[in-house]
Amino acid sequence: MKNNTAIDASTLCQTCGMCCDGTLFSYARIYPEELKKVKSQGFNVKRKDRRTTVFTFPCHHLVDNKCSIYADRPKKCSGYFCRLTKQVIRGDKTLEVALEDVQETKADSEWLRENAPTLKGDHKKNLNLRDYLNDYLKVAQELADAKQFPDSHIYYSVRAFEYLKKIDLNFREVTLLQKYANLLQTIHFKQQGNHG
């Protein structure tokens, strides 16, 4: 098959892995009819609430950035197509451009992981990036409200905001994006109040 966008999308998906490594999601819902199978595959299964069971990310089936059970993965995984994959399927983006977007986003996520400010108990290494950015936001908002926001945190918050814009544009809607925008607006407003 020559120039088949469905094949390109599959190549992109199996090259990326960000939906599986905790970059895009903290968990995925398990459909009741596949709970037994998912448990037998060794997923980290948890109850989210009375009616919802999930498996958490990062997924241990992600090996060398590829799903080791791709042909037999859960329905939630096989049914998920990120925005970038959809753009490739439609022919709006070439595979090459999409792979560049993935590499740039991965580089940003790696920088954010390596430069993550320490939070209470230094648990950053135990969280996926999505959860860490959510926890960091709470601490950053407290610092901003108290007008005790160090420059290093401002830079990290700006980098996180820029990263979240890429995730929102290319992969999935990100509710944290608006919250980081509000944080940066609060910091800017308080700095203006200190200088004006």
**Number of other CB atoms surrounding residue 129 within 10 Å:** 26
**C-alpha to C-alpha distance for 92 and 100, rounded to whole angstroms:** 15
pLDDT band at 1 (very low <50, low <70, confident <90, very high): very low
What are the tens digits of pLDDT across the range 41-95?
999 999 989 889 999 999 999 998 888 998 899 999 999 999 999 999 999 999 9
| Mean pLDDT value across the chain | 89
What are the tens digits of pLDDT across the range 147-186?
888 888 899 999 999 999 999 999 999 999 999 999 999 8
Per-domain residue ranges of the chain? 25-81, 94-195
Nearest one of 25, 29, 19, 81 to 52, comparing CA atoms: 29
CA angle 117, 122, 127 (to 5 degrees): 85
Q: Whole-model pTM?
A: 0.84
Quote the radius of gyration of the chain (alpha carbons, Å).
19
**C-alpha to C-alpha distance for 105 and 41, rounded to whole angstroms:** 29
